[in-house]
Amino acid sequence: MNFLIMGLPKSGKSALFNALTKSARQDIYPDIRVGTVKVPDKNLDRVSKWHETDKKVNGEIDITDPATNLNFDASSDFIEKKYLQEIQKYDGVILVIRSFKNDSVPHPYGKVGLENDLEQFTIESRLIDVQIIEKRIENIEKSFKSLTKQEREINQKNIQTLKEVSKLIEQGEPYSSEIYTEAHRAAIGSSFLISKSPMMVIINTDENQSIPQPELDKIAPLIRKDSLLIQMPLGFEEDMIGLNDNEAEEFRNASEITLNDFDSIFNNLLKVSNSICFLTAGKKECRSWIIKEGSSAVEAAGKIHSDIARGFVRAEVINIEDLLKFSNEKEAKDKGLIKGEGKNYIIKSGDVVNFLFSV
């Protein structure tokens, strides 16, 4: 998965990227930064300890701290057309909204205000989506000369459908609305649109600042119902980059930070993107894999290697809660709790899987 960080300048985007990727703070950042983040998985920790494994490998998420041209800033052209293709590679958005107050870090609009910033993002994200759709239409129209009459008619209908979607987005219709038909959803199915992409909103607070519930209620209509919101002092988390896990935990406890634990970012990214983790485990290596919820056994096998999916025979599956009741796998197998499953078995969170295949 590849998540794009978005937000106003000075909102804390780079602080979030640094905290997630353990990158050192800099005065000047390059145009774009891409980092790979290991996703904490308590089930992986547990099964690794149970196996006394030699190697533990966490699942990974890619995070992008974008160039200035991807920062929403009330400009008339939020994203230059040459970047519209680039934005298509993302699977979701992490939106950072500033709540912390610091006179030495000026707010682009002159005043910190959650409601105003969210309104601005809503407006400009719609403009981005409209630009992306316009680019799609432009590309379809360019191909007309090489098409047959029948193909042109099909593409003309597709263009009309895309224009309808664009109008709905401009009107502020949420993608979850029933007003979007199957034809609308099919037309934009492969496109990255902010209005339909998984989104997590992080309110970047001062240390121990908690947003009052009346203020949260006020901004609730500006946040998509299918997105998730957390509060977190990102500057505080960035300050702990050089600490090991134990030192960081002691620092947090001493500071009495009462907001979301930093690991909640990862949990929420998985949740908002409808993703889960399954495990492969043994003495040599235990590994956590991230897949979409509802993935079949053969799809999970393909996540590991295409040859395993191609030569899939069966999957030996046991949930970690059952596995840890025993001292070894043979005991679990003798009790009939390690089960052979076919291609269509739906992998569940915490499943420990051994794939049998032949190529």
Give SS3 for 5. strand
Tell me what the mean pLDDT of segment 71-89 comes to: 56
pLDDT digits (tens, 9 = 90+) for 33-52: 899 999 999 999 999 999 99
> For residue 70, which of 11, 156, 19 has the smallest C-alpha distance?
11
User: What pLDDT does residue 35 have?
Assistant: 93
> What's the rounded Cα separation, in Å, for the pair 36 and 45?
20
The distance from CA 349 to its chain's CA centroid, rounded to whole angstroms, is 17
Average pLDDT over residues 99-124: 86
The percentage of residues in the chain with a pLDDT greater than 70, rounded to a whole number, is: 92
Q: Where in the chain is the domain with CATH 3.40.50.300?
A: 2-40+60-149+190-270
Beta-ladder partners of 316: 340, 354
Q: Which residues have C-beta within 8 Å of that of residue 183, sequence separation ≥ 6? A: 161
pLDDT-above-90 percentage for the chain: 52
Q: Convert the pLDDT of each residue in 286-337 to its tens digit.
A: 999 999 999 999 999 999 999 999 999 999 999 999 999 999 999 999 999 9
Quickly state the pLDDT bin for 68 (edges 50, 70, 90).
low
* Contact present, 113 and 4 (Cβ < 8 Å): no
pLDDT at 69 over 90: no
Rg (CA), the chain: 23
Q: How far apart are the first and last CA of the chain?
A: 28
Ranges of CATH 3.10.20.30 domains, the chain: 294-357
Give the fold, CATH level 3, of 294-357. Ubiquitin-like (UB roll) (3.10.20)
CB-based contact 187:179 (threshold 8 Å): no
Confidence of residue 85 (pLDDT cuts 50, 70, 90): low
Q: Are 92 and 273 in contact (CB under 8 A)?
A: yes
Over residues 2-30, the mean pLDDT reads: 85
Query: Where is pLDDT greater, at 293 or 135?
Result: 293
Name which of 136, 237, 192 is nearest 1 in CA terms: 192
The predicted pLDDT at position 176 comes to: 81
Give the homologous superfamily in CATH for domain 2-40+60-149+190-270. P-loop containing nucleotide triphosphate hydrolases (3.40.50.300)
Burial 169-194 (b: 16+ CB within 10 A, else e): beeebebeeeebeeebeebbeebbbb
Q: b/e string for 305-327 if b means 16 or more Cβ within 10 A? A: eeebbeebebbebbbbebbbebe
In angstroms, rounded to a whole number, what is the distance separating the alpha carbons of residues 77 and 201? Answer: 23
For residues 277-289, give the mean pLDDT: 96
